[in-house]
Structure 1
Amino acid sequence: MKPVLYIVIPCYNEEKVLPITCELFLEKITTLVKKNKIDNSSRILFVNDGSKDHTWDIICELAEKDEHYMGISQSRNRGHQNAVLAGLMEAKDKCDITISIDCDGQDDINAMDEMVDQYLDGSEIVYGVRSKRDTDTFFKRFTAEGFYKLMNLMGAEVVFNHADYRLVSSRVLKEFANFEEVNIFLRGMFPLVGFKSTSVYYERHERIAGESHYPLSKMLALAFDGITSLSIKPIRMITGLGGFIAILSFIGVVWSVVMAILGKTVTGWASMVCIISFIGGVQLICLGVLGEYIGKIYMEVKHRPRYIISERTEEKK
């Protein structure tokens, strides 16, 4: 029996690129059906993440034009990760496999063929991994690769050069639904689920149209969210730093007492100011990291919904 595939595509202000890439996604679905790899009941599921332009109107028009298109709209913008999650949870009971991919056309959709093949060979999760970053600037390449290295260093298990282009079976998604945390970092959470997984390598292209929604500031925020959501290593580092400074302080106290006994003390404010400033700065950094974790605990205990779907194209038919 051929599997039913849902391609999950988060969209935020994509009115410029959506009319172009939607045809590419439909062509890919059609091609896979003709190759007898997937069932014709497979669908393209757009997730409108509270767009302020005409993205939702375009999605509704596409759904009316072809049955392979469908869409859901969130009540407000909740971020890329929550948009992907909303689409996956919407699809998990309707299909056998999902492939999440961005709308901008940068990820090579032809990699979907190999992803489906790997699923048919027994893999439950197939990660789309960039084979190279030749199209990136030096700064972009340096910061992006540093992002993955930092994540692994901090204890967050992520696949190097993998973003959110992946195939996931409905079996995995049903287990993933038990992960109820509000602060989500999908590329670090799916490896926690387990099951057989593999990777498919592809070349990433330039964005077809529109502007990127992931500047450096958002990348840094995503990295920090990922670290604090998946690892307590920063807190352990603070403990280690505190112990190291305590040892230095104890040595300093012993040295001061010895110098006082020998009568070699010299009064001065420079050393005192340096020590106080150093200790104060370290304390503020440590409090900031602890505050981030406490803030996340605060958000988790509220159990607020991670997404709210306000409209579905199916309801308009």
Structure 2
Amino acid sequence: MYHQKPILGIVVPCYNEEEVLSLTVEELDSVLDKMEKEGLVSSESFILFVNDGSRDQTWPLIEDLKGRYERVSGLNLAANVGHQNALLGGLMTAKQHADCLVSIDADLQDDVRVIRDMVLRYREGCDIVYGVRSSRKRDTWFKRTTAESFYKLMEGLGLRIVNNHADYRLMSRRALDELARFTEVNIFLRGMVPLLGFQTGVVYYERLERAAGESKYPLKKMINFALEGITSLSVKPIRMVTAAGFVVFAVSIVMAIYGITSNLMGKAVSGWSSLIVSMWFIGGVQLLSVGLIGEYIGKIYREVKRRPLYIVERELPPAVRRKAVDEAKSDHRKELDPVLSL
């Protein structure tokens, strides 16, 4: 059952975001204020900033913003654990206080105005609503090409993934409870959330320029992120290595037959070039295969150790939550007063 005025939580993972955070809270607080006045969300709705071990003044700024905005809350992680783990930590912490949660990055590149559309789709019965980019015209040719290639590769490997969707989405508490049952430590939420099923919706938006600060995802991190996603959710790459092994073996058999036949027929074959090429080719395939197998073994190693994905150092609840608790206690007292006076 979906509430007419759901408690909406907005989870914002932050890593060295002191330059943009003040703008972010203004935009998000304004969105919640408008939706509350429209009667779309509860007055208990809140914003949760998750500090992922920032090295700048992000956490002190979150503490300051909490004192100035009733809806702001904070979660300070004890160490930097990466975007996906920090986001998951925020979702798992906030889900107990909300009917639905929206996850969004702090840089304001995702259009906050479509949060309203997400809530409307939620009220229509969707447990998951994806924010999808309508175009990539603002991206450079290189970024656009690599991103499109990544999504095509993921689809080719048989993974359920939403094209041009990052981590801008709404999830109901029911969907979040099911996500909590996923116990792996190799986290790739873009691929995990579609595995949940449930009724889903999509809202489209135009991605904006970063409001302030610098991107926290340089090329090296993007490559690592893509590799993490592929190897965390699919075993097809390792099957492709097996297939490549059979192909190389078949080619070697053909070459062996060719060599024996040439010698029996008395043909002089130099063989130097083909030998060198074969050695380099087989050596490259072997190194690639060992590296890929090592990647999977490394993931098994992490899974077996079962280390926590994140450790919370401190949580700051929003003032609206405390106010709601105080009001509930006050209403309860009023109900008891006539009884106690008898």
TM-score with structure 2 setting the length: 0.90
User: 2:71 touches 2:318 (CA, 8 Å); kept in 1?
Assistant: no
Q: Distance in 1 between matches of 2:268 and 2:282?
A: 22
- Secondary structure of the residue aligned to 1:181 is coil
- Secondary structure of the residue aligned to 2:169 is strand
Q: Does 1:144 align with 2:161?
A: no
Q: Does 1:131 align with 2:107?
A: no
Match of 2:109 in 1: 106
Q: Distance in 2 between matches of 1:68 and 1:211?
A: 26
Q: Does 1:247 align with 2:247?
A: no
Residue type of the alignment partner of 1:206: E
Q: Distance in 1 between matches of 2:94 and 2:224?
A: 28
Dislocated runs of 4+, deviation >6 Å: none
Q: Distance in 1 between matches of 2:104 and 2:7?
A: 17
Q: Distance in 2 between matches of 1:214 and 1:183?
A: 18
Q: Distance in 1 between matches of 2:104 and 2:317?
A: 22
Residue type of the alignment partner of 2:292: V
Match of 2:306 in 1: 303
Q: How does 1:161-310 map to 2 (within 5 A)?
A: 161-310=164-313
Q: Deviations over 1:88-122 (max 9, x none)?
A: 00011111000000001110001011100000001
Match of 1:52 in 2: 55
User: 1:151 touches 1:223 (CA, 8 Å); kept in 2?
Assistant: no
Q: Distance in 2 between matches of 1:178 and 1:151?
A: 24
TM-score with structure 1 setting the length: 0.97
Q: How does 1:2-13 map to 2 (within 5 A)?
A: 2-13=5-16
User: 1:155 touches 1:227 (CA, 8 Å); kept in 2?
Assistant: no
User: 1:50 touches 1:74 (CA, 8 Å); kept in 2?
Assistant: yes
Which has the larger Rg?
2
Q: Does 1:80 align with 2:91?
A: no
Aligned length: 317
Q: Distance in 2 between matches of 1:313 and 1:59?
A: 9
Q: Deviations over 1:41-64 (max 9, x none)?
A: 011000000000110001111112
Q: Distance in 2 between matches of 1:267 and 1:10?
A: 63
User: 1:131 touches 1:202 (CA, 8 Å); kept in 2?
Assistant: yes
User: Which piece of structure 1 moves more, 144-153 or 126-135?
Assistant: 144-153
- Report deviation, 1:291: 0.7
* Cα gap change, 1:314 to 1:122, in 2 (>3 Å): closer
Identity %: 52
CA RMSD of aligned residues (A): 1.5
